Amino acid sequence: MRRLKGARYYLIFMLLCFIAVSGYYFHEVDRKNSKVRIIQTKIELLNDSLSIGKFDYYSIQQITFKLKNTGEFPFIIQSVKTSCGCTAAKYDKKPVPQGETTTVILEYKPNSLGYFSKTADVVCNVPEGYVRLKISGEVVEK
């Protein structure tokens, strides 16, 4: 009889855990299916890939990308995610009105010699959800 009581408490505990987990799952699904309208715009990017060429290991390089809002709505950069810690991004967080231009500056600080290729994803309100910028070059010791 004692064993049966323990089994009963175990089953009740498992049932409560299942209900809690399934409630959380359905809550997450409902949040994903909710209708949130994101106003998207279009941008014009002169270059999405730039080569720095050869430069000294002890120098920090800054590469500027210009993004022009060619859409109907303000262009908003939410964040810039770089591919590694040796690349940092600087950008204006203010919305860019239609017809205006903004810049994203990638600052590359070498951590090794040789050829490199890095990316930065500009998370913004374009149809794709982001714009990928690429930089490459060769770090040499002078």
* Each residue's pLDDT tens digit, 101-139: 999 999 999 999 999 999 999 999 999 999 999 999 999
Q: What is the pTM of this model?
A: 0.71
Distance CA 23, CA 12 (A): 16
* Integer CA distances (angstroms), 19 to 11, 13, 14, 37, in order: 12, 10, 9, 32
Mean pLDDT for 14-18 is 63
* Each residue's pLDDT tens digit, 45-77: 988 999 999 999 999 999 999 999 999 999 999
